[in-house]
Amino acid sequence: MANTQITAARQGIVTPAMEAVAKKEGLSPEIVRQRVAKGTIAIPCNRLHTSISPTGVGEGLTTKINVNLGISRDCQSYELEQQKVNTAVALKADAIMDLSSYGKTREFRKWIVETCPAMLGTVPIYDAVGFLEKDLRDITAEDFLRVVETHAKDGVDFMTIHAGINRKTAQRFKDNPRKTKIVSRGGSLLFTWMELTGQENPFYEYYDKVMDILGEYDVTISLGDACRPGCIADASDPSQLEELITLGELTKRAWDKEVQVMVEGPGHMPLNQISANMMLEKRLCHNAPFYVLGPLVTDIAPGYDHITSAIGGAIAAATGADFLCYVTPAEHLRLPDEDDMKEGIMAARIAAHAGDIAKGIPGASDWDDQMSDARQALDWDKQFELCIDPEKAKKYRASSSPALHDSCSMCGNMCAMRNMNRIMSGEDVTLLK
């Protein structure tokens, strides 16, 4: 029997997690409860995640950001990934997705649960081969469900599960060739497993059993988009839309089991398609919280994909996305290091905030108004205090000190702020001294 935030919300109970989210967002606990009951807000919060600070994703809330990290066969430093978790939390990431696929995966996962206040997400299929010590073709449906249950017992708050790529969706993909085929790692593994075994996707075939596991621990299902476009040419194609329809059906089935839901989305997508895709997801998936990777708006910028992602992410957030997965400059090239991670987090936070301003989240523009006041007053200390990245702002100013303390080295005595303040207060303005 499920014992989740939805269970409580439908019984009229405001849980401590709902209280915490309401306080963070400046909303009444009753509004949060109502939206959790409807499924338009999710609070991923496994009851075994002892160190978590509950965070909400969805209707009327600030746009959240996620940071991907984890141990791989080629980059096995457990300690480096621990440091990246700590840095991500310090930089105000809302969620950590542990995508570890090699080595001490369970030890790392448990350490995050014990120490990290951010939401923790995983993709169980990434862990399956190493955890089970079986090759892909030898893994059974029961094996896949056992990995899901292990992650739930370990305290994971949300799991990406690619239940929408069933045999029907796979056939749609085969009938409509793509430039970049299936680029989702989890989606490609499940497609390959189905091709090797001739069986249905176990996460789709045994979806009710998956819901029973997640409901027991209050794990939110993040319905993975196996057919997300991997290049702008594949955006909004039949495979993506076929899967999205299935994800909408699976959303309702999860809610019927009182399991919280998020739905994942694109991917690579031209600017002019983003808004329509956000609205389509909300329509087909019944206003469930939408979690997007990017979208990346062009394919030509390896090394700068935190920028291509932030451009798309801002538009997505402004038109309906609730949760942005960050992208780093290392995307498509290598595992990101700590510097890459910081660049990705800052780009995603800027995109999320820009989206919040556009969609009228109460209080979102207050921060900008305070910065504008500090700039007009030429109050550099206040500006640094308000910066999204104070360290970088201070470094830039210190690297080129101006002759006039109330200006900068770009404008000097032609500073518009400085001269307007003086002339409007009746002071003399001279440019030759």
291 annotated binding-site participant: yes
151 known member of a binding site: no
Strands 57-58 and 41-42, how do they pair?
Answer: antiparallel
186 annotated to bind ligand: yes
Report whether 306 belongs to an annotated binding site: no
Residue 227 labeled ligand binder: yes
CA distance 6 to 84: 32
**264 has binding-site annotation:** yes
Question: Is 332 assigned a ligand-binding role in the annotation?
Answer: yes
- The Cα 385–Cα 134 span in angstroms is 52
Q: Residue 69 forms beta bridges with which residues?
A: 98
For the chain, the first-to-last Cα distance in angstroms comes to: 78
Is 387 annotated in some ligand binding site?
Answer: no
411 annotated binding-site participant = yes
Residue 206 marked ligand-binding: no
Q: Is residue 400 classed exposed, middle or buried when 0-12, 13-18 and 19+ CB atoms within 10 A define those classes? A: exposed
- Distance between CA atoms of residues 351 and 312, nearest Å: 8
Map tokens 């994942």 to a residue: 264
Is 162 known as a binding-site position? yes
Angle between helices 141-154 and 105-115 (to 10 degrees): 30
Q: Does 225 belong to an annotated binding site? A: yes
Report whether 68 belongs to an annotated binding site.
Answer: yes
Helices 207-217 and 238-256: crossing angle in degrees, nearest 10, is 50
73 marked among binding-site residues: no
Distances (CA, A) of 164 to 141, 149, 152, 222, 272: 16, 19, 20, 11, 26
Cβ contacts of 399 within 8 Å, gap of 6 or more: none
Q: Binding site for Zn(2+): which residues?
A: 268, 332
Q: Binding site: which residues?
A: 68, 97, 126, 162, 184-186, 225-228, 264, 268, 291, 332, 408, 411, 415
Q: Binding site for substrate: which residues?
A: 68, 97, 126, 162, 184-186, 225-228, 264, 291
Q: Binding site for [4Fe-4S] cluster: which residues?
A: 408, 411, 415
